[in-house]
Amino acid sequence: MRKILAIFFTFGFLSALEFDFLRAEKFDSVSGFRSYSFVVTDKNKNTSNVSKFLGLNENFIVVLKLRVVNSKKEYYLQVYDKNGIKQQELYESSSGVAKILESASRL
């Protein structure tokens, strides 16, 4: 019973997570279309809760990339380790990724 309650409260906390975006020039891309990077955090500036929300190792950093193509904003997510080395891209097919991208539309 305790495990069920712990899972419920953890899931409830993570599903209610609000996101913040901190400008992070070190992850910008300048080849091709320029992209502007933002580290995705929770409202307390914590990156590990965002990683857990997406089912990733809590030591990873989720980075939102914003680029403007033909006057339209495009958003996508990439995952980096704490040393700044790219690990993977995240796709919108995940509901967690979709929630972050939806929150990013205010940028």
Residues of the chain with pLDDT under 70: 1-16
pLDDT tens-digit readout, 29-45: 988 889 999 999 999 99
Query: What's the DSSP call for residue 35?
Result: E
* CA 97/CA 95 separation, integer angstroms: 5
pTM of the model: 0.80
Question: Residue 31: its pLDDT value, please?
Answer: 83
pLDDT at position 10 is 39
Residue 35 makes CB contacts below 8 A (sequence gap 6+) with 28, 29, 65, 66, 67
User: What pLDDT does residue 12 have?
Assistant: 42
Strand pairing partners for 29? 35
User: Whose CA is closest to 43, among 73, 76, 20, 27?
Assistant: 20
- Confidence (pLDDT) at 16: 58
Q: The sheet that has 72-80: what strands, in order across it? A: 19-23, 35-42, 61-69, 72-80, 86-90
Q: How far apart are CA 85 and CA 95, in angstroms?
A: 25
